[in-house]
Structure 1
Amino acid sequence: MSSLNKMLNVLNIFGPGSLIINVDDIAKKLSLSRATAYRYVRELCDAGLLTRIDTSYTLGPRIIELDWMMRQHDPLISHGREVMADLSKNTGLTVYMSVFYDGHIINTHIESDIKKYGFTFGRGRPLPIFKGAQSKVLVAFQKTNRLKKIYDEQIEPSDDYNLTWKEFNSETKKIRKDGFCVTHDELNLGLTGIAAPILNLENDDIIGSIAFVGTTSAFELFRFEAVVERLQQATARIEKGAHLDNEQETDNT
């Protein structure tokens, strides 16, 4: 592993339960000397990726700048923002866009007419790997070898799940066959989620998901088939837009 990769691994230590970290913790978690940990932290601070708080460190202002740029130029968000806003306005439900990267699932964009929706997992906070509609869709549409790795490394060892490989494989197959996933009370009590995948039109790889989330009583106001149809129409529009962007970029190179 290169020195750059080792330095960037410092950022992987931060999480919802570890927002402020000292150099001794960094050195211990990454098996570094204290001098090397200090050097990495200093360089990350110079780049704005970390900032010092007394004798400890937290994420720096450069993260916010990168986040703003991602919101402006990420192809899924740029093509999904208006689609999701229309879905939320016309249904009264909250609409999530989510992605899977490096073993993590996060919501990257949310559209909602509800001022205080109070959901546990907002934008940027990691979701459980196989709980909630958007998480299950993002996992289920992974390639078979990737699915087995997810199960072996994150599902089977965790006390949060009670699934054999056979049960896990069967559930993911059903989600792929249906083309969507519905969950109740898995992330927040009293809430229902319905999610569908966003696929790369060139190779059918999953690149994201869109989900309706709302109270279970709110969903009772809609015909289920109509909700799924609107969701899949939305993902198709986003897929097409992202595909056209990719084609234009290819033509320009």
Structure 2
Amino acid sequence: MRNDAESGRSASGDARTQGAVQSVDRALTILEILARAGEAGVGEVAAELGVHKSTASRLVAALAAHDLVEQPAERGRVRLGIGILRLAGATSARLDLVQEARPVCRLLASQTNETVNLAVLGDRSALYIDQVIGPSTITSYNWVGQHIPLHATSNGRVLVSELTPEERRVTWGELTAYTDSTVTDPDTLEEMVADVHTRGYAVARDELDVGLTAVAAPVRNAHGEICASVSVSGPSFRIDQARVEELLPLLLQAAGDVSARLGWHRA
């Protein structure tokens, strides 16, 4: 049985967790109030939240530290900040990318009968934002919303292929071996990424999962920067080197088509 001290620590921890959740809920409510009203005084915010004015002031200060709200004059009225636009812009850009890429990815999945994934660079990972399963694919893991290691995937290597070596060393994160085939040596990875930059595509075989092979190519925005990666993946027994050579023209065409839809024109 737990002693009184352990019970006390547990109760204290639960109280802190509940308090943190309550603070987050109140902060989000402030954003909703400002979205509805346009602007409001701290006293008005406090009244609507049902809290003391000092509590509302601390919450407003925390939001202001992240540019989510702004208070032009000291003790003045509060309104939404530019941080909201930054978050909305990132979400909008991602939704636009999915919308523009979806018909191309559907065609690619139909042409290859394999799974097609669309990924963007996340926080030291590849974030999978869309997936289309080929018509003859019986089962496929749903990667959408998953953060996947950069070093062990074709999408990841494409996404970091135009970063500087210094930026890559920070972005790789921990070079974990997921299978016996996972490349974890930094120098070898640099050589492989240089090869990706030269060839315009990446291949990863049995590195994240034994039996899984994927081929990826870059998607570029209107400025010519890599903004995403599109890949074709399937069982390694089916996607051997000869099959990779068959898939490449279709994959590169699809990546180019998505890039064109985003406004990129090859010089």
Shorter-chain TM-score: what band?
0.5 to 0.7
Residue in structure 2 matched with residue 98 of structure 1 by the alignment:
119
Residue from 53, 59, 80 that aligns with 2:101: 80
AA aligned to 1:155 is: E
Residue in structure 1 matched with residue 55 of structure 2 by the alignment:
none
CA contact (8 A) 2:177 2:184 kept: no
State the shift of 1:240 in Å. 0.9
TM-align CA RMSD: 3.7
> Taking structure 1 as reference, are residues 71 and 83 closer, same or farther at Cα in structure 2, changes over 3 Å only?
farther
Number of equivalent positions:
195
Residue in structure 2 matched with residue 117 of structure 1 by the alignment:
139
Q: Secondary structure at the match of 2:262?
A: helix
AA aligned to 2:145 is: G
1:89 aligns with 2:73: no
> Taking structure 1 as reference, are residues 222 and 173 closer, same or farther at Cα in structure 2, changes over 3 Å only?
closer
CA contact (8 A) 1:95 1:212 kept: yes
* Percent of pairs with identical residues: 20
CA contact (8 A) 1:193 1:212 kept: yes
State the shift of 1:133 in Å. 1.4
Residue in structure 1 matched with residue 22 of structure 2 by the alignment:
38
CA contact (8 A) 2:125 2:156 kept: no
Residue from 206, 214, 219 that aligns with 2:239: 219
1:236 aligns with 2:256: yes
1:207 aligns with 2:191: no
Q: Compute the TM-score of the two structures, normalised by the length of structure 1.
A: 0.63
State the shift of 1:214 in Å. 0.9
State the shift of 1:26 in Å. 11
Q: Secondary structure at the match of 1:129?
A: coil
Q: Secondary structure at the match of 1:194?
A: strand
CA distance in 2, matches of 1:189, 1:216: 8
State the shift of 1:27 in Å. 6.1
CA contact (8 A) 1:71 1:77 kept: no
State the shift of 1:141 in Å. 3.1
CA distance in 1, matches of 2:16, 2:163: 34
> Taking structure 1 as reference, are residues 125 and 43 closer, same or farther at Cα in structure 2, changes over 3 Å only?
same
AA aligned to 1:239 is: S
State the shift of 1:83 in Å. 0.8
CA contact (8 A) 1:77 1:109 kept: yes
Structure 1 regions of 5+ residues with no counterpart? Answer: 1-22, 29-33, 49-65, 245-253
Residue from 158, 177, 187 that aligns with 1:137: 158
Q: Provide, for residues 123-146 of structure 1, a one-character-per-residue CA deviation record: whole Å limited to 9, x for no partner.
A: 001112311211222123323332
Q: Secondary structure at the match of 1:142?
A: coil
CA contact (8 A) 1:142 1:206 kept: no
State the shift of 1:239 in Å. 0.7
CA contact (8 A) 1:130 1:139 kept: no
Q: Secondary structure at the match of 2:228?
A: strand
Structure 2 regions of 5+ residues with no counterpart? Answer: 1-11, 33-86
Residue from 123, 141, 155 that aligns with 2:174: 155
> Taking structure 1 as reference, are residues 83 and 162 closer, same or farther at Cα in structure 2, changes over 3 Å only?
closer
CA distance in 2, matches of 1:181, 1:169: 13
CA distance in 1, matches of 2:28, 2:13: 16
**Could you say which structure has the larger radius of gyration?**
2
State the shift of 1:147 in Å. 1.1
> Taking structure 1 as reference, are residues 166 and 184 closer, same or farther at Cα in structure 2, changes over 3 Å only?
closer
